[in-house]
Amino acid sequence: MAIYNLDAILNRYCDDFLILEFNHLFISSSIREEVWLLQRRADPALVEKIMRAAEEFGIYDVNADKDFDTYSGGQKAILGCLLTLAVIRSQKIHGLKLLLNNVLDSLSDDNRLKLFSKFEEMRLTHDIRLYTNKKDRIQEIF
């Protein structure tokens, strides 16, 4: 049994999936920095879009420079997903397979449903496919 085995997850799935892992959601410490790294430039418009989307999930105290560590675990999981979706849309990425590892179980039921509807929208427009990892087995959500 393994609680959390990043090497095993990467070895098994990194060739086929973009992996969002609960314990490794971000490289940097704020939305502004993360967008800068993912877009390779400052992108205030994208930052603004992510913050507005976060408010839909009840993250009212969202701020471009707020340290990720000051958000709750579930809020970080939501922000990680919203960042990913925003970058996929911005960079017009199609056909991506996205694996959520220990992410969905950190969300309250209402936020999980809201997030599914965001992903569903991206499935229709960008052919994104969503997977989760349960008991060492990959399951396609849609």
Partner 1 sequence: MKIKKGTYRLEKRGLNFSLADDLDFKDRNNCFYFRGGNGFGKTSFLEKIIIPALKTEKVQYIYIGQDIRTQLYTLRALLAVQGIKVSDNDEVALLRLWINHSRSATVFILDEFDKYFPDYGFIFDWSDAFIRAYIMVTHLGYCQPDAVAGKYRTCNVKFDLVDFDGHIKNIRVKKE
How distant, in Å, are the alpha carbons of 130, 136, 137, 141 from that of 13?
13, 11, 11, 16
Nearer to partner 1, 28 or 39 (CB): 28
59: contact with partner 1 by CB under 8 A? yes
Between CA 106 and CA 72 the distance in angstroms is: 10
| Residues 11-30 close enough to bind partner 1 by CB under 8 A | 22-24
SS3 of 101, please?
strand
Between CA 119 and CA 72 the distance in angstroms is: 22
CB of 124 to partner 1, least distance (A): 26
The mark string for 66-85 relative to partner 1 (x by CB under 8 A, - otherwise) is: ----xxxxxx-xx-------
Between CA 49 and CA 71 the distance in angstroms is: 18
Give how many residues touch partner 1 by CB under 8 A: 33
Binding positions for partner 1, rule: CB under 8 A:
1-6, 22-24, 57-61, 70-75, 77-78, 102, 105-112, 134-135
